[in-house]
Chain A
């Protein structure tokens, strides 16, 4: 390992002497006086339980985190007493506005309370008896393959950033863990959907892969969050709505509603994160808008890819309903960008694409 102990503690007599003294009953107990801010938080609403917002009071509250963290690069929890000698764990995300959203604690709580497991909760047998070779079924399996790819890489994006993020922002780190979990579940659920019965996976969609690689290669966490949470999951949410409307069985309806529910959390965090970041550092708006141009171009490639748009056309019964879905999703996306302070998106890549498919 790269980090080597300054000495071989296994031969350090002082340590053994210290432990021996303790184990002979000679306790120091000085630590018992090292008490920080006392706290006895209780649930504000007993039916909801003890939430993160309930314990975020006094010196433990996120409001006490400075915009730039200079005091703690260890894993010591926020609000603990920091003795000398704590090492740096090399965090690269040390600026509050780079990750923070006031919604993070409640979104983490929501994710836990809305847990579901694809193995048991999806009524898989509702898919029995479907004609495996039907156009509709093949289209559904191709979309499931696309969603599986999205789930796989969108679990990687928070994984890429969470270990680089300072522990002072633990609520956001918890939420990143939820995102890894939720995205991996999307991959699982839609892999199972594609394969159930006489199923099969479809084909790899290269333009979608390019968009996903762009998310993973984002320059910083704000850009990654913008591309994945605000942009991509906004469209996943819209797609889920369309899948629910098109579902002709209980399994697909269930999967679509859960996809929608999970995607909404990504979108809510991403939108509020951007809003909060631009509010704190207005100068970031231009940089982010530039990154968004690139991501939106990647998204256009994916939305127009044969492996994405054609199965949607087959499921919807024509291009016009798909164009309407895309227009509505673009309108919602523009509204979120406006609300976040990213400005008018009418000159971005999406409007021109909508013209192309709408004629």
Chain B
């Protein structure tokens, strides 16, 4: 243990012993009753939504008034509580600037996450899988896809967790959002693992290229660099894949899975986009660093075009491995690839980082593959 507190043995500490004796005599200090903290009228503004963080966004308790450099507590003290700046327990947070972590609408995202929790155990009609006939090759392809999703989803718990404990507790809405994301992603890894192990095939082979991208995400220099890679690019790509996977799902049970994971993933991507937008608005000098980070992120992403991943989606989209089925599958997957990049560019633009599009490595890649470049379509 690297920290032991300030008192060697409380029960033998003279002041403490005297205070306990006073307590036994009924003498209370009660200084804490005169906290002097702000007293506000706080109620639920909508009965249907209940008492949300938005309702608490007032005065010293609110987040709108929180400045870029909130010179407040550095410990466990909740934002707005009384504390002694000279005598507080310093948790030594490393992320103390609002723009390090903040995103527009983050309180709403957190409330939404709290109200839209679902359960992979009971909300998926697992027994219905037996009602739908699937060919062996389709089930094998779907098992490969589920193996991939099981493999990559936990990065979206591990990466934000790596940074959450370093964040100042004054940003508790963001930290709470991260906790909901960790829960969401654990559930995603769970649901895809369950699907792979319920379908008759089991887990298949892990994908080294994807793993290198995951390692690069985890090794981001700053939370914002890592968030841009993970939320905006990687989870954005996965969101497009979820939408596509719902379309090509072999059974209604699988469609249900994708409908549920999609709503969570969309929230995470939105947070990433709104965090980037916040940086563009309040700390735009960080653009160069973000460019460099996304340069490398795009490099890793290009290397993710693994045969197993690409081909399992082609087999699922074409519903088999006969030449005409493969031709259909290739067409559908080609559309998805263009869509992934198109949506990434849209997010960059909406975040106020549209200048990134001209620098992106994806446009040249699509041209090389003979696929249409969404950047050209967007500028037209």
A binds B: yes
Given contacts A3-B215, A204-B73, 9 further A-B contacts (CB under 8 A): A1-B297, A31-B311, A75-B154, A75-B211, A81-B204, A149-B76, A153-B76, A197-B41, A213-B76
Given the interface pairs A37-B202, A41-B198, A198-B41, the reply to whether A112 lies near B187 with Cβ below 8 Å is yes
Please measure, in the bound complex, the distance between the C-alpha atom of A173 and the C-alpha atom of B155, giving whole angstroms. Answer: 12
List 6 interface pairs A-B (beta carbons < 8 Å), by A numbering: A15-B305, A27-B311, A81-B204, A152-B76, A214-B1, A216-B91
For B23, list chain A residues within 8 Å (CB): 309-310, 313, 319, 357
Q: Mark B86-124, 1 if CB is under 8 A from A, else 0.
A: 011101000000000000000000010011010111111
Flag whether A135 is at the interface (Cβ < 8 A): yes
Flag whether A103 is at the interface (Cβ < 8 A): no
Q: Which residue from chain B places its CB closest to the CB of A38 in the assembled complex? A: B202
The stretch of A179-187, A262-270, A337-345 that contacts the partner chain: A179-187
Flag whether A281 is at the interface (Cβ < 8 A): no
A 38-71 contacts with B by CB, 8 A: 38-43, 46, 48-52, 55, 60
For A156, list chain B residues within 8 Å (CB): 91, 164-165, 175
Is the pair B31, A55 in contact by a Cβ cutoff of 8 Å? no
Report the interface size for chain B: residues with CB under 8 A from the other chain: 156
A 246-282 contacts with B by CB, 8 A: none
Which has the most chain B C-beta neighbours within 10 Å: A40, A80, A122, A307?
A: A80
Is the pair A42, B219 in contact by a Cβ cutoff of 8 Å? no
Flag whether A347 is at the interface (Cβ < 8 A): no
Given the interface pairs A19-B305, A191-B56, A304-B19, the reply to whether A149 lies near B78 with Cβ below 8 Å is yes
For B152, list chain A residues within 8 Å (CB): 75
The stretch of A85-93, A94-102, A228-236 that contacts the partner chain: A85-93
Q: Which residue from chain B places its CB closest to the CB of A112 in the assembled complex? A: B119
Is the pair A83, B76 in contact by a Cβ cutoff of 8 Å? no
Q: Which residue from chain A places its CB closest to the CB of B195 in the assembled complex? A: A50
A 325-359 contacts with B by CB, 8 A: 349, 352-353, 356-357, 359
The stretch of B43-51, B63-71, B239-247, B346-354 that contacts the partner chain: B43-51
Flag whether A206 is at the interface (Cβ < 8 A): yes
For B31, list chain A residues within 8 Å (CB): 306
**Shortest distance in angstroms between A50's beta carbon and chain B's nearest beta carbon?**
4
Is the pair A119, B52 in contact by a Cβ cutoff of 8 Å? yes
Q: Which residue from chain A places its CB closest to the CB of B361 in the assembled complex? A: A10
